[in-house]
Amino acid sequence: MKCNRFQTAFCRRDLLRTAACGFGQIGLAALANQSQASPIPASEGFQQLSHTVGGAKRVIFLFMWGGPSHVDTFDYKPLLKDFHGRTATAEALRGRQPPGGTILGSPFKFKQHGEGGIWISELFPHLAKHADQMCVLRSLHTDGSAHGEALLTLHTGKSNLVRPSVGAWVSYGLGAESQNLPAFITISPPRGHGGVQNYGSGFLPAAHQATAIGAAEIPVANAKISNLSNPVLNQSTQRSQLELIQSLNRSHLRTASVDPGIEGLISSYELAFRMQSEVPQIMGLDGETKETLELYGIGTVPTDNFGRQCLLARKFAEQGVRYIQVSTDYTWDHHTKNNELLPKECARVDQPITALLTDLDRRGMLEDTLVIWGSEFGRTPTAENQDGRNHHPAAFSMWMAGGGVKGGYTYGATDDLGFQPVDKPMHMHDFHATLLHGLGLDHKRLTYRHAGRDFRLTDIFGNPATEIFS
């Protein structure tokens, strides 16, 4: 039951430990590269190692921290307006259990867009033009009514135990396409609600943890990767110093005869030095045209920050990073003034996200980049504090684009008021299984032996929604 070729051949902790480690040599994909002077093309390694046929090679996950209201964005509920101000009784909901409270109708206009006729509210005017590239998932539900629990469930599949994050699993499963960059990068991650654990490696080898750039509350223009540059030394001094280090290391290695540890140390310094020179170039925007910067809304209010984050995501994607998460600050938690605050938040991200889709598409990367937009939960169809909405883990929406998903497609549905999924409910485990499926990984076969048993991202659950892929 647990034995399959991949496990025995590849999922060996010791292999990972002893391999002289460049980022590119980690994970299942490592095998393709190991002990080869020149790595075989990553795409070949990928084809060889994927479990199923998946269209995507990488993921960009756009995380809206706080939980945007689904009924105001992608889950159109005309009846909400009709019931506005009414008490959400069990009767009104035909027996389904509502959380109580007064129905809050959405003041935002919805329209069907594209040939697929996806419903999108007026809060995403730019994105709506890409409706035929989007697959909206309207039947998500999760565990945990508090942010911390829900963030951990979204990012690790589990809130009450420490587990590896989705990106770490992907890094472990597919390795990095780039020799000089990690497989998993998180741009502006949240520090609270689980913090590092949301992009940690849990019991997977530490190399699968994300490299973090900045933090949610820091404008990404000022964000840094820790220790990526020397605060004092110039490059030529450092190069000369590195040569001294490596001479000492080689001298040590000669007396040791054979030692994979020292060899690994030597190559890790070379990689570190290469990262040091290459990553800042990727993080800088110098090579980008004015048109591109404008496309992303960089330099204009209110899109500047998220625009930079999205552009950075595209650049990392281009360099072969497998899993890139982009997070907003903790700005979507609209317990009050939902109707006033939600449009502002949408305006910050709408143009940048749209630019990302456009940019990936015109570079031919959208077909193998799975772009996901989502949050830890949705918000109640009922009012809190008169004009706000409370947390709603029972039903919410996400969308995917690119990476082989069907465009102009809507998956699942909630009831008439958006309380509960009624068609094809998609639990967070199902979402994770679907995400892995999109990358060609079978969530049941991507396992890691820890504490005497094989663990997987989806525990013992999860069904991938294969129908959303074309």
Partner 1 sequence: MRLQNYSSRSAPHWSVIRFLIPCAASYWFALQCVGSVAAVTAKPSAPIPQDAGVSANGEVFFEENIRPIFVQRCQSCHSEKSGKHEGNLLIDSQAALLKGGDQGPAVVPGDVEHSLLIRAVRHTDPNLMMPPTERLNDESIALLESWIRMGAPFPETSSQPTVVNPSDPVEGKSHWAYQPLSIVAPPQPQNSAWSRSEIDRFVLAKLESRNLAPVSDASGKDLVRRLTFQLVGLPPTPEQLLKFDSLPQALATEQLVDELLASPQFGQRWGRHWLDLARYADSNGLDENFLFREAWRYRNWVIDATNADMPYDRFLLEQLAGDLLAYETIEQRDRQRIAAGFLEIGPKVLLGVDPNRQRMDVADEQLETIGRTVLAQTIGCARCHNHKFDAIPTADYYALAGIFTSTTVMEQRFMLNEQRVMERLVGLGENGEQIDDDYESFYRQVNSLRQHVEKAKAALELLKSGTEEAIAAKLASDSDGFCDASRDAAVTREMRVAAQEAYLNEQTKKLANPPGIPPRAMIPRDAESVVDEHIRLAGKFDDRGELVPRGFLQVLSDTPAAPLPTNQSGRIELSQWLTDSSGRSGALTARVFANRIWHHMFGRGLVRTVDNFGRTGETPSHPELLDHLASELIRNGWSMKSLIRQIAVSRTFGLSSSFDSANHDVDPENILLWRGNRRRLDPESLRDAMLTSAGTLDLQPVNSTVDYLGDQATAVGNNAVRRRTDFNFRSVYLPVIRNDLPELFDAFDFANPQLTTGARPRTTVPTQGLFMLNDALVMKAAEDTARRVLAENADQPLDVQVARMFELVINQPATPEEAALVATWIQSTETQSGSSPDPNARQKAFQLACHALFASSRFQYLE
| Piece in contact with partner 1 (CB under 8 A), picked from 74-82, 107-115, 215-223, 424-432 | 215-223
Reduced 3-state DSSP string for 294-337: HHHCCCCCCCHHHHHHHHHHHHHHHCCCCEEEEECCCCCCCCCC
Which position among 44, 82, 217, 467 is part of the footprint of partner 1 (CB under 8 A)? 217
Q: Nearest approach, Cβ of 421 to partner 1 (angstroms)? A: 20
Pick from 40, 37, 38, 59: nearest CA to 49? 40
Pick from 404, 432, 320: nearest CA to 54? 404
- Looking at residues 435 to 464 of the shown chain, list those that interact with partner 1 (rule: CB under 8 A): 449, 451-453
Which position among 116, 122, 203, 223 is part of the footprint of partner 1 (CB under 8 A)? 203
How far out from the chain centre does Cα 136 lie?
A: 16
| Piece in contact with partner 1 (CB under 8 A), picked from 105-113, 254-262, 293-301, 336-344 | 254-262
Q: CA dist 42 to 23, 67, 214, 294, Å?
A: 13, 36, 28, 32
- Looking at residues 34 to 63 of the shown chain, list those that interact with partner 1 (rule: CB under 8 A): 34-36
First to last CA, the chain: 29
Upper half-sphere CA count for residue 78 (Cβ side, 13 Å) = 4
Nearer to partner 1, 241 or 470 (CB): 241
Instruction: Please work out the total of residues on this chain that contact partner 1, with binding judged by CB under 8 A.
Output: 94
| Piece in contact with partner 1 (CB under 8 A), picked from 94-102, 133-141, 199-207, 375-383 | 199-207
Q: Say which residues have a Cβ less than 8 Å from residue 50's Cβ, sequence separation at least 6.
A: 174, 439, 440, 441
Query: In 114-257, which ranges are E strands?
Result: 118-121, 134-141, 184-187, 211-213
Pick from 394, 410, 384, 307: nearest CA to 353? 307
Nearer to partner 1, 53 or 299 (CB): 53
* Residue 238 in contact with partner 1, rule: CB under 8 A: yes
Q: Nearest approach, Cβ of 64 to partner 1 (angstroms)? A: 15
* Residue 252 in contact with partner 1, rule: CB under 8 A: yes
The contact mask relative to partner 1 for 343-362 (x = CB under 8 A, - = no) is --------------------
Which position among 86, 206, 221, 337 is part of the footprint of partner 1 (CB under 8 A)? 206
Which position among 99, 125, 148, 425 is part of the footprint of partner 1 (CB under 8 A)? 148
Q: Nearest approach, Cβ of 94 to partner 1 (angstroms)? A: 26
Nearer to partner 1, 9 or 300 (CB): 9
CB 389 within 8 A of CB 335: yes
Give the three-state DSSP class for 265: helix
Which position among 128, 152, 394, 417 is part of the footprint of partner 1 (CB under 8 A)? 152
Compute the distance between CA of residue 278 and CA of residue 280 in angstroms, rounded to an integer: 6
* Sequence-distant contacts of 144-150: CB under 8 A, at least 24 apart: 144/376, 144/377, 144/393, 145/377, 145/391, 145/393, 146/391, 147/66, 147/67, 147/192, 147/193, 147/333, 147/376, 147/391, 148/192, 148/193, 148/194, 150/67, 150/376, 150/377, 150/391, 150/393
- Looking at residues 78 to 137 of the shown chain, list those that interact with partner 1 (rule: CB under 8 A): none
Nearer to partner 1, 87 or 97 (CB): 97
- Looking at residues 9 to 38 of the shown chain, list those that interact with partner 1 (rule: CB under 8 A): 9, 12-18, 20-23, 31-32, 34-36
* Residue 191 in contact with partner 1, rule: CB under 8 A: yes
Other beta carbons less than 10 A from residue 6's beta carbon: 17
- Looking at residues 296 to 335 of the shown chain, list those that interact with partner 1 (rule: CB under 8 A): 330
Which position among 193, 334, 348, 437 is part of the footprint of partner 1 (CB under 8 A)? 193
* Residue 223 in contact with partner 1, rule: CB under 8 A: no
Across the strands, what pairs with 325? 61, 186
The contact mask relative to partner 1 for 256-275 (x = CB under 8 A, - = no) is xxxx-xx-xxx-xx-xxx-x
Nearer to partner 1, 5 or 290 (CB): 5
CB 165 within 8 A of CB 432: no
| Piece in contact with partner 1 (CB under 8 A), picked from 74-82, 187-195, 375-383, 415-423 | 187-195
Which position among 102, 249, 292, 339 is part of the footprint of partner 1 (CB under 8 A)? 249
The encoded tokens of residue 339 equal 């109707």
